[in-house]
């Protein structure tokens, strides 16, 4: 269906019946019109964007790109207008990159380059620098209860690369389907589809992913966010943790543990990793994307023995190993304690923002319920009955607020029908939070 849709749209653009600058419906609307899942449209749009046929912008409907070989492109010298940046950005997937201590990073990089032996600048072990892998084993063992030897650690370019490698390895071994929490991060389903795997949804409630549907779905792997479910914020409850691992052991399935923001927890005790409970069935992945900056493309995976050789081989053929100097710099930061100090500083800053957000919501939107507040960089805002999230998101957009709804992360219509917004505070400095929430409340008022 994705390919069919992609072909139809491409032909219309080639023939000029969809002219440069024309605005297409949002993926959500088109999916509804065609009666297909939103993922089909997202994938088709994504492919056409990558091929240069569509201009894709976050939170805006795609427009047909102007290309020299398109009939419209030959005449259209006007670029489609670039949407002005949002006044307030509630993005939930990005941290405040301005918190990165650039001086500390420069010092660590400089030191890496100065002190690195020549061998460190050559092609190396695709798993990454041994020094970094050793210090990750210590750090993750101490802070997250991860059980590993350095030989099992593979330094990756973020969680995105880890699942890409894992999915390719699984698909090559004959895997067919991978289960995802519903709702969950939408780009991860695309990664599965690109590897030829079928994403299957598993419902999430206040205790995290439900385990009993797994037996009937029989996926080869399941991707979970147990410390802080994305985007609901639920913590995977302890009997479910045990049940999940028991299911994985029984069915010899892989659990992929996305530990994307566990460093930021505010008023609850740390939750250990699934990996620490069953290293042979859990592929554990962490990242600096929230703690330092996504652009560094640095993360780590701890790979179960049965997958290790194939995973390392996939990493070798993907990029011959992650960039070496950044790995050495990260090892310096972790070894010297600077990494944990940076996490601690960021935690204090985000906690203040979280508190400011809760206070502002209480004041401006007292009828909404707020969930998932104990950790991470976002909360879930449940709208009162009768208030539709798509309408609120559109009204917010008109006021130049960037807000995503749970429906954007939903694999099924049932979850998509939940009326809830995902409010991130990584991109909102503390003083901007109250005005941003007042503006959101005004968007809600626009509709009443």
Angle at 43 between CA 40 and CA 48, to 5 degrees: 125
Q: What would the two tokens of residue 418 be?
A: 């939940």
The DSSP result for 277-342, as a single string, is T-TTTEEEEEESTTTT-GGG--EEEE--HHHHHHHHHHHHHHHSSS-HHHHHHHHHHHHHTHHHHH
8 A C-beta contact, residue 346 and residue 393: no
Distance in Å, CB of 120 to ligand PLP, minimum: 24
Q: What would the two tokens of residue 202 be?
A: 């598993």
Nearer to ligand PLP, 133 or 378 (CB): 378
Query: Per CB under 6 A, does 158 bind ligand PLP?
Result: yes
Long-range contact list for 144-151, CB < 8 A, 24+ apart? 144/259, 144/262, 144/272, 144/273, 144/276, 144/286, 145/272, 145/273, 145/276, 146/273, 146/275, 146/276, 146/284, 146/302, 147/275, 147/276, 147/279, 148/275, 148/279, 148/284, 148/302, 151/127, 151/308
Site for ligand PLP (CB under 6 A): which residue of 26, 37, 112, 160? Answer: 160
Report helix, strand or coil for 58.
Answer: coil
Distance in Å, CB of 300 to ligand PLP, minimum: 10
Distance in Å, CB of 53 to ligand PLP, minimum: 26
Q: How many whole angstroms separate alpha carbon 441 and alpha carbon 421?
A: 12
8 A C-beta contact, residue 224 and residue 244: yes
Distance in Å, CB of 159 to ligand PLP, minimum: 4
Question: Which parts of 197-236 interact with ligand PLP (CB under 6 A)?
Answer: 225, 230
Residues contacting ligand PLP: total by CB under 6 A: 13
The CB-nearest residue to ligand PLP is 158
Name the strand (E) or helix (H) holding 4. helix 2-15
| Cα dihedral: 351, 353, 356, 357 (round 10) | -110
Site for ligand PLP (CB under 6 A): which residue of 27, 66, 112, 287? Answer: 287
Distance in Å, CB of 23 to ligand PLP, minimum: 27
Distance in Å, CB of 290 to ligand PLP, minimum: 7
Burial 195-228 (b: 16+ CB within 10 A, else e): bebebbbbebeeebbbbeebeeeebbbbbbbbbb
Binding mask 77-116 toward ligand PLP (x if CB under 6 A, else -) reads ----------------x-----------------------
Distance in Å, CB of 447 to ligand PLP, minimum: 28
Nearer to ligand PLP, 139 or 260 (CB): 260
Distance in Å, CB of 262 to ligand PLP, minimum: 11
Nearer to ligand PLP, 135 or 224 (CB): 224
Site for ligand PLP (CB under 6 A): which residue of 45, 53, 159, 339? Answer: 159
How many residues would you count in the chain? 448
Binding mask 368-397 toward ligand PLP (x if CB under 6 A, else -) reads ------------------------------
- Binding part of the chain for ligand PLP, among 156-164, 196-204, 214-222, 401-409 by CB under 6 A, reads 156-164
Tally the C-alpha atoms within 13 A of residue 58's C-alpha that lie toward its C-beta. Answer: 14
Site for ligand PLP (CB under 6 A): which residue of 73, 299, 376, 424? Answer: 299
Query: Per CB under 6 A, does 289 bind ligand PLP?
Result: yes
8 A C-beta contact, residue 252 and residue 235: no
Question: Which parts of 242-261 interact with ligand PLP (CB under 6 A)?
Answer: 258, 260
Query: Per CB under 6 A, does 294 bind ligand PLP?
Result: yes
Query: Per CB under 6 A, does 152 bind ligand PLP?
Result: no
> 354: Cβ–Cβ under 8 A, 6 or more apart, which residues?
266, 373, 379, 425
Q: What would the two tokens of residue 3 be?
A: 């390919």
Nearer to ligand PLP, 159 or 284 (CB): 159
- Binding part of the chain for ligand PLP, among 71-79, 287-295, 422-430, 434-442 by CB under 6 A, reads 287-295
Query: Per CB under 6 A, does 350 bind ligand PLP?
Result: no
Distance in Å, CB of 260 to ligand PLP, minimum: 4
- Binding part of the chain for ligand PLP, among 52-60, 286-294, 355-363, 414-422 by CB under 6 A, reads 286-294
Q: How many whole angstroms separate alpha carbon 66 and alpha carbon 269?
A: 53
Q: Which residues bind ligand PLP (CB under 6 A)?
A: 93, 158-160, 185, 225, 230, 258, 260, 287, 289, 294, 299
């Amino acid at each position: 269906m994705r390919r069919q849709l992609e072909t139809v749209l491409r032909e219309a653009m080639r023939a000029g019946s969809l002219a440069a600058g024309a605005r297409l419906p949002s993926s959500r609307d088109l999916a509804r019109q065609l009666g297909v899942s939103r993922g089909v449209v997202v994938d088709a749009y994504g492919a056409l964007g990558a091929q240069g046929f569509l201009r894709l912008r976050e939170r805006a409907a795609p427009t047909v790109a102007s290309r020299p070989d398109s009939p419209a492109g030959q005449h259209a010298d006007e670029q489609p207008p670039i949407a002005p940046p949002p006044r307030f950005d509630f993005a939930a997937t990005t941290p405040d990159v301005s918190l990165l201590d650039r001086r500390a990073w420069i010092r660590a990089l400089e030191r890496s380059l100065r002190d690195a032996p020549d061998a460190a600048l050559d092609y190396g072990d695709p798993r990454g620098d041994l020094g970094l892998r050793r210090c990750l084993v210590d750090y993750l063992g101490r802070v997250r209860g991860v059980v590993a030897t350095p030989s099992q650690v593979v330094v990756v370019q973020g969680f995105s690369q880890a699942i890409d490698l894992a999915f390719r390895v699984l698909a090559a071994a004959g895997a067919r389907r991978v289960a995802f929490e519903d709702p969950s991060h939408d780009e991860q389903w695309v990664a599965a589809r690109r590897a030829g795997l079928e994403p299957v949804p598993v419902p999430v409630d206040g205790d995290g992913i439900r385990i009993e549907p797994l037996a009937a779905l029989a996926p080869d792997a399941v991707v979970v966010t147990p410390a802080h479910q994305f985007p609901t914020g639920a913590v995977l409850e302890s009997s479910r943790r045990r049940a999940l691992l028991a299911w994985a052991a029984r069915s010899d399935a892989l659990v992929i543990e996305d530990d994307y923001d566990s460093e930021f927890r505010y008023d609850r005790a740390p939750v250990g990793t699934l990996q620490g409970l069953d290293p042979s069935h859990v592929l554990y992945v962490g990242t600096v994307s929230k703690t330092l900056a996504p652009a560094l493309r640095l993360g780590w995976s701890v790979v179960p023995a049965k997958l290790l050789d194939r995973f390392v081989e996939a990493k070798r053929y993907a990029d011959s190993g992650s960039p070496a100097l950044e790995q050495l710099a990260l090892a310096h930061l972790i070894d010297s304690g600077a990494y944990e100090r940076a996490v601690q500083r960021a935690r204090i800053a985000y906690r203040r923002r979280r508190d400011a957000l809760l206070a502002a919501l209480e004041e401006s939107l007292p009828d909404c319920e707020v969930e998932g507040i104990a950790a991470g960089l976002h909360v879930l805002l449940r709208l009162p009955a009768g208030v539709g999230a798509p309408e609120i998101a559109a009204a917010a957009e008109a006021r130049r607020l960037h807000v995503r709804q749970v429906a954007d992360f939903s694999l099924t219509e049932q979850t998509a029908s939940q009326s809830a917004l995902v409010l991130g505070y990584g991109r909102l400095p503390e003083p901007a939070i109250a005005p941003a929430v007042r503006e959101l409340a005004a968007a809600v008022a626009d509709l009443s």
